[in-house]
Each structure stands twice: as C-alpha cells, then as structure tokens.
A and B are shown apart, each in its own frame.
Chain A
C-alpha cells in the first residue's frame, strides 16, 4: 500500500546545465545506439557528464522517470477516471478501501463535492464496470465513471 504523499514538496534549485538538459530533452530523447554521446555533443559536454547529471536528477526526485512513456491504453486493457462523493467524516476510511483495490492506479483528494478522484485500470471494460460498481457498494458513496471519449493532448511541457 502506498502512503499518502504530501503535495507541498519544496522547489529544488537547479544549475544552468540541469535546466538546459531538462528543457531540451523532456519532449524527446534520441533513439540511437549511443544517445548520451549525441546529447553530449549537442550540449558541448562529455557523455559522462550527461549521465551523471541525469542520475543525480533522478536521485533528487527532480525527474520522476527517464525513458519511454507509454500510452498503455493502446497496448492493454480498459481505463477510466472515476470520482466519489465521500462524507468528510469517513474520508480516510474510504481512501483506504479504495486504495486497497489493485485496479486503482492514481487517487487524489480534491477540493470539490466530488472529493476523491482515481484512475481505474483493468483487463477489459466488463471488469472495469464491475470494480467501479463494487467500489460504490463497498464505500456506500455515489460515484462517477468518466472514461475518456477523445484525447486531445497528453504531455508535459514545463520549463525548468
């Protein structure tokens, strides 16, 4: 079980080179046999420097991942964004009930009457509906099941 993480994480100060690396390669990293050498050439440093900096950024938690980002939905299974309207007094208890489902991938508390938002991931559509209905029953909370109909954009373009 994952522990609730605080959102108030401190901003980390980055060096000019770290910023350059993040800004230049968050959108795409070369798919060539020696990608770090290519990046090093483009940035005018050594391949070792690129690798060390990347390792440190991952260790510090500035980067959450390095590698291919998959559109898992195209490969496997059914997905949906779901919400529950949870009474404040039962919030922690319901969060635990919901998080106990391995089909729940992300779960966020939000400041709205629909105050619990999570992503369900299952093998197929039928299973998804079954798990969603079971969660509503077990938690005794009204729910919303909002599978995506159209994806307009997914990506992150944040300047470091």
Chain B
C-alpha cells in the first residue's frame, strides 16, 4: 500500500481542500497549494502519488448522467457461483456501460445476490440490452438476477472526509 508512506495529515488537508472541487482559474493547483502552505510542485507531486495509490480515482469532469440523457440507471444484482465471482466480476466491471461493480456478501435467506453492477442507458431498450449482455457473459455461473430501478433520490450528501 503505497499511500501508507505518504504524509497522512497532509493528505487529509488536501482532500478537505479539494473535495468540493478545484477552483477554475489559470493555476488551480497553485491556489490550493497556497491555502495549504505548500508549494505548487509539492501539491502536484503528492496528487500524482495519490493517483497511483488509488486514493484519487481520477481528476476529471464529473457529468450528471441525467443531464446527459442517461435517464435509465439500474442497479442489477446477480447470484454468481462463488468459485467464479472474482473472474466474472472483473469482466463485468470492464463493460463500458457499468459504472460501479462490486462483490458483496449474501445474506441468506433474505438476499442471495453477490454481484452488483450499476448500468446506465438513454432508453429502456438500451438498458435491456445491457442486462442481456451481462447475462450472457455470466453464463451458467449465474443462478438468478434481479434489477432495482431508482424511483427517487431521498438523500444525496456524498461521502465526505470529516476533520
């Protein structure tokens, strides 16, 4: 774990200063670095290390998928044979319409699905095809599946680091 070698206190400060986004100006990293009392080079180097360590997933523009016309956002859940889950989960995660893909524990007898994949499409037909594609990929290793439509966002505060 590379990130353990990094300065944890400084990392928390960087996260706090940037978790709401970067400023839009000619030198955004310089502005953040000033707030933290470090050099621009130092900040960029640290953020690069955080990227390699996976602590930063990416620096980028995050689209609101509803605004881009992706109105069909489904949580699909699959009951996949335990001996195949790691290999198959990896493959499902590589599909370009899957935004989140996780293995989660079964909770028998209430819940027997162990693979979660969020899919996104512009219309019903598109998501149906996506579901069919995952089904085909999983093949016989998949015993059952179901899909859960989101009807309403009840709360969305996002994950925040607490200081």
CA distance A114 to B116 in the complex (A): 15
Find chain B residues with CB under 8 A from A118 CB: 154-155
Q: Which residues does chain B contribute within 8 Å of A160, judged by CB atoms?
A: 63, 68
User: Separation in Å of the A73 CB from the closest CB of chain B?
Assistant: 8
Q: Are A36 and B102 in contact (CB under 8 A)?
A: no
- Which residues 77-119 of A sit at the B interface, judged by CB distance below 8 A? 77, 79, 81, 83, 95, 98-99, 104-112, 114, 116-119
A149-B105 contact given A8-B71, A106-B156, CB 8 Å threshold: yes
Docked Cα-Cα span, A86 to B20, in Å, equals: 33
Which of B29, B69, B155 has the most C-beta atoms of chain A within 10 angstroms of its own C-beta?
B155
Dominant secondary structure at the A interface:
mixed
> Does A138 reach chain B (CB closer than 8 Å)?
no
A130 at the interface (CB under 8 A from B): no
Query: Interface readout for A134-151 with B: 1 if CB under 8 Å, 0 if not?
Result: 000000001011111111
Contact indicator A99/B155 (Cβ below 8 Å): yes
Residue of A nearest to B65 (CB): A158
> What is the size, in residues, of chain A's interface with B at 8 Å between Cβ atoms?
88
B68 touches A62 (CB 8 A): yes
Shortest B155–chain A CB gap in Å is 4
**Which of B53-61, B127-135, B137-145 is the interface stretch?**
B53-61
B107 touches which of A10, A146, A156 (Cβ 8 Å): A146
SS class of chain B's interface: helix, strand, loop or mixed?
A: mixed
A26/B61 contact (C-beta < 8 A), A31-B44, A69-B56, A76-B162 known: yes
| A155/B99 in contact, CB under 8 A | yes
CB distance from A26 to the nearest CB of B (A): 5
Bound together, the chains give a CA A54 to CA B102 distance in angstroms of 32
Binding site for A on B (CB under 8 A): 3, 11-12, 15, 18-22, 24-30, 40, 44, 47-48, 50-51, 53-71, 75, 85-86, 89-90, 92-94, 96, 98-105, 107, 110-111, 116, 120, 146, 148-162
Given contacts A65-B62, A153-B98, 13 further A-B contacts (CB under 8 A): A31-B48, A33-B40, A33-B44, A51-B24, A70-B161, A107-B153, A107-B156, A110-B150, A112-B148, A117-B148, A144-B110, A150-B85, A152-B102
**Listed A/B pairs (11) with beta-carbon separation below 8 Å:** A5-B156, A11-B68, A31-B47, A35-B28, A62-B67, A66-B21, A67-B19, A98-B155, A109-B154, A152-B102, A152-B103
